[in-house]
Amino acid sequence: MQVVVCKDAEEGAGIVTEEILGALESKPDLVLGLATGSTPIGVYQQLSLAHCEGGVDFSAVRTFNLDEYCDLAADHPQSYRSFMRKHLFKDINIPEENIHFPPSEGPGLREKCLRHEDEIRQAGGINIQLLGIGSNGHIGFNEPTSSLASRTRIKTLTEKTLRDNSRFYEDPSEQPQVASTLGIATILDARRILLQAYGEKKAEAVKASVEGPISSYWPGSALQMHADVTFILDEASAARLEMIEYFRKSRADRVRLQEENTI
Ligand code: PGA
C-alpha cells in the first residue's frame, strides 16, 4: 500500500489523472472502474480537459461504474448515470455502448448482477479502479459488515450514508434506500486501485482503512489485501495516520528513485 499526502484535492486529482492518461497511452482500450460522489469530480474535469484541449481519445475506453441507486429512474438528476453524464461522459468521446453500470432495475436483479461480473471479466477485467470512501469506510456502496468476498449485488444503505447524502434531496421521501454495487472482491480484482479521500470528515475512515485491522466493519481496510493500491489524501484526511511521516518519506524516496530511473 502506498499513501500520498497532497497539498489539496486539486493536486491529488492531478496525480490520478496523470496515471490514467499514462495508462491510456499504452492501452487505448483501457478498462476504467469509475466512482461517483464529490471526490472524483476533479479527475473528471481534468480528463474532460485532456479530451477537449489535448485531443485525448476515449473512443476505445470501456468503463464500469461502482454503483447505482435501485429506486431512482436512470434519468433522475440524482442517478449515478446522470452524474457521470454531467461530469464526464458528455465531455469525452466514449461510445454509449462502452459505458456500464451495475444493474439496478428488476426483475431478476440478482441474476443480472451475477451476469454483470461476467461482463467485467469479458472486458478483460478492470485496469484502474477509482475509489472514494464514505465517512463510515464504505467503498462503492459496500457498507460496514459487507462480506470481504462480496460480488455485485444489492445493498441497503446505512443511516450514516443516507445522512451524508441527504443534501441532494429536497424531499427526503425521494432519497433512495437501496443500491446495487460492485462487491469488495470485485473491487479487489482490479489490477490497480487509486483511492482519493479529502477533508477532515474522512480522517477516521482513512485511519481505519490504512492502519486498522482488516475488518468488514471498515470496508476500506480490505484494500490492505491488494498488491497495488494508492491512497491519495490531503492533510486533513491524513491527519490521524500514525505513520504519516513514514508515508511522506516513502513517497519522496519513490519519486527520487523514479527520477534516477532506478524503479
Ligand atoms: P464523496 O462520497 O466523494 O461524496 O465524499 C464518497 C463515498 O461515499 O464513497
What's the CA gap between 234 and 34, in Å, rounded?
A: 20
Query: How does the average pLDDT of the chain come out, rounded?
Result: 97
The pLDDT tens digits for 234-250 are 999 999 999 999 999 99
Query: What share of the chain in percent tops pLDDT 70?
Result: 100
The average pLDDT across 168-190 equals 95
Q: Would the CB of 70 count as within 6 Å of ligand 1?
A: no
pLDDT at 22 over 90: yes
CATH number where 129 lies:
3.40.50.1360
CA dihedral of 224, 232, 217, 116, whole degrees rounded to 10: -80
Ligand 1 atom 2: the closest Cα is on which residue? 37
Range of the domain at 125: 2-259
Q: Is the peptide bond before 107 cis (omega within 30 degrees of 0)?
A: yes
Give the model's confidence band at 137: pLDDT under 50 very low, under 70 low, under 90 confident, else very high: very high
pLDDT at 71 over 90: no
Testing ligand 1's pocket by substitution, the residue of 16, 36, 87, 198 carrying the most ligand atoms inside 8 A of its CB is 36
Q: How many domains does the chain have?
A: 1
For residue 154, what are the β-bridge partners? 180
Ligand 1 atom 8: the closest Cα is on which residue? 134
Closest approach atom of ligand 1 to CA 140:
9
The average pLDDT across 23-34 equals 98
Task: Convert 177-198 to b/e letters by CB count within 10 Å (16 or more is b).
Answer: eebbbbbbbbbbbbbbbbbbbb
Q: Would the CB of 136 count as within 6 Å of ligand 1?
A: no
Selecting among 65, 127, 136, 142, the annotated active-site residue is 136
pLDDT of residue 82: 97
For residue 2, what are the β-bridge partners? 230
pLDDT at 176 over 90: yes
The question of whether 105 is a catalytic residue gets the answer no
